[in-house]
Chains A and B, each alone.
Chain A
Amino acid sequence: MNSSRIFLLVIGFIIYFFVQVLLLKNLVLFGSAFCFLYVLYILLLPVDMKTVPTMLIAFVLGFGVDLFYDTLGIHAASAVALGFVRSGWLKVLTPTGGYDDDLQPSMLNMNFGWFLTYSIPLFLLHHLIFFYIENLGTNLFLPVVQKIIFSSIFVFIMSIIVQLLFYRRRRGI
């Protein structure tokens, strides 16, 4: 972990955070498709990032997003759960020959099919936890399922667009 990589990670963190709370907060399609793009930042952390630092980063990022969404703790809880599951899921999806050490598990470095199987379950998990906690105490089943599915699809499409526009192969942002 050299200093230029840490620098890129920090810059990425700040960009994702501010894009999320200033721009994407107001972007909700049809009242049910939310765009929690900051999740992509956690997904695209280097493969060799251990679970502990991943969860800490996820917690700080989620907590910061919570402050602006007035949903204190909910983003943090779902992001930490995502960070906890991520490394295990990466291990399950290891391609033949294994990962390079500092590989960023993005669509460009792997391929579309791999990224689909990698990201969709994680997006679904994050959104499931977020909307479940958010709607505790209400008896809205269908709207919540709708929000979970539509938001996951929307974030997946957005994450592909973002990667095509702003990422390069083999290197960070």
Chain B
Amino acid sequence: MQRILLFLYRLRAFLLFLVLEGIAIWLIVSYNSPQGSAFFNSANQVSGSVLAAQNSVVEYFSLASVNKALVEKNAELLAELEAFKKPADSVFIELDSTLLHSFQFKGAKVINNSLNLSQNFITVNKGSKHGIKEGMGVFNEDGAIGRVKGVTKNFATVISVLHTDLLISSKIASSEVFGSTKWDGKNPKQAKLLYVPRHVTIEKGDKVVTSGYNAVFPEGIPIGTILEVSQGTDTNYLDITIELAADFSRVSYVYLVENNQEEELNELYQSNGVNNE
């Protein structure tokens, strides 16, 4: 017995090495599972507040560009609003009121961001206290940014579009052909549009927008423009490179969108065995 203990004592460094690596690997695996542990990430109370404090200093450097972007977005929204104004000399009939209110929007500030790893995350300064839920879509005035992964009371982590596992249901605006946008981990300005069949003709410069099929994003939020189309190695699908609309190196304010009917939609999909991504 004593010999065994002595033997183990001599091996203590190696055993501790195995234990610590085991813990680390367990953390890696559990964090990357679809459920994901929301606690040990940049959204927890301690690291969240440190990041928020850091951001309150750094944000001044980007004020000018943020203001400019917001003004542009405002102008665009005003122009859209103009189209919805009811003329004084006509009667307005609401056709279906349930469809009108299916999306809710919330604003948040980005306090942590990365773009050079192969799995990038963004942290925002709103959490469950402000009504943020897992699975909400995230976009800014330029285009889609990602999807909420984990929420704590005051902060939330967002899986960035620059994450090699995130698929976004998208379509080509001009031809309504749909596919999935996925980042290939190489260039933070470009992504791939997958599952577009070979027979489709595509022009360079076509806009790619969200399709609205999987209820995370409303329809028509820009994702990017088509940069390059080639035949690729896949026998069924085209190899399409798109240039992302959002500049991930300068994301400072984002909008979060919640679909009030997502639960109902998911239930419908599940009960019918449809897997929509």
Contacts and interface: CB of A to CB of B under 8 A. Distances in A.
Interface of A: 21-22, 25, 28, 31-32, 34, 50-52, 55-56, 59, 62, 66-74, 76-77, 80-81, 84, 133-135, 137-138, 140, 143
Kindly name the residue among B21, B23, B46 whose own CB sees the greatest number of chain A CB atoms within 10 A: B21
Interface of chain A, main secondary structure: helix
A50 B10 CA distance: 13
Interface of B: 12-14, 16-17, 20-21, 23-28, 31, 37, 40-42, 44, 46-47, 50-51, 54, 112, 114, 116-121, 123, 157, 164-165, 184-188
B41 A70 contact: yes
A72 B54 CA distance: 21
Contacts of A67: 40-42, 44, 46-47
Contacts of A28: 116
Contacts of B165: 137
A52 B13 contact: yes
21 contacts: A22-B50, A25-B114, A34-B116, A51-B13, A55-B13, A66-B40, A68-B47, A68-B112, A69-B114, A70-B119, A71-B119, A72-B27, A72-B41, A73-B23, A74-B24, A80-B20, A80-B24, A84-B13, A84-B17, A135-B118, A138-B118
B185 A55 contact: no
A31 B117 contact: no
Contacts of B185: 135, 138, 140, 143
A73 B16 contact: no
Given A68-B51, A84-B14, 8 more contacts: A32-B116, A56-B20, A59-B24, A69-B42, A71-B117, A81-B17, A134-B117, A140-B185
A32 B41 CA distance: 23
A77 B188 contact: no
Nearest to B13: A51
B188 A31 contact: yes
A53 to B, nearest CB: 10
Contact of A77 (B21, B37, B46, B157): B21
Contacts of B121: 70
Nearest to B122: A70
A74 B112 CA distance: 18
A33 to B, nearest CB: 9
A78 B41 CA distance: 18
A72 B13 contact: no
Contacts of B46: 67
A76 B20 CA distance: 8
B26 A73 contact: yes
B164 A138 contact: yes
B17 A55 contact: yes
A34 to B, nearest CB: 7
Given A72-B31, A134-B117, A81 B21 contact: yes
A37 to B, nearest CB: 16
B186 to A, nearest CB: 6
A25 B120 CA distance: 13
Nearest to B42: A70
A7 to B, nearest CB: 23
A106 to B, nearest CB: 24
Contact of B16 (A21, A55, A68, A143): A55
Chain B CB within 10 A, most for which of A31, A59, A67 = A67
A21 B114 CA distance: 12
Contacts of A76: 20, 23-24, 27
Given A55-B13, A137-B164, A73 B27 contact: yes
A63 B74 CA distance: 42
Given A73-B26, A137-B165, A138-B164, A52 B21 contact: no
Contact of A143 (B47, B119, B186): B186
B118 A134 contact: yes
Contacts of A51: 13, 16-17
A81 B18 CA distance: 9
